[in-house]
Amino acid sequence: STAGVSIARAEDRLMAVPAPADVAEALALSPGTPLLKVDRTAYDLRDRVIELRHSWFDTTHQSYAASLR
C-alpha cells in the first residue's frame, strides 16, 4: 500500500435508512428520503481497526458494489 498499511479484511454493514437532516442537506435531498447507509470497518494484518467509514448513497443515482480480497 502507498500508506504502508495493508488491509487484511473489511466488514461492511448495509442498511436502508431515512436521511437525517444533516445528510439530506449535504446531498440536496429532503429529510427522510430513503438512502442506503454503508458502515465499514477495515482491519490490518494484526487485526487492528484501520478504517471506520460511514457512507450514504442516494440509490436513485448511485449503486454500491464491493470486491474484497
> What pLDDT shows up at residue 1?
62
> What pLDDT shows up at residue 14?
95
- What is the model's pTM? 0.78
Parts of the chain with a pLDDT under 70: 1, 68-69
> What pLDDT shows up at residue 64?
78
The long-range contacts involving 3-6, CB below 8 angstroms and separated by at least 24 positions, are 5/44, 5/50, 6/44, 6/45
> What pLDDT shows up at residue 22?
97
> What pLDDT shows up at residue 4?
82
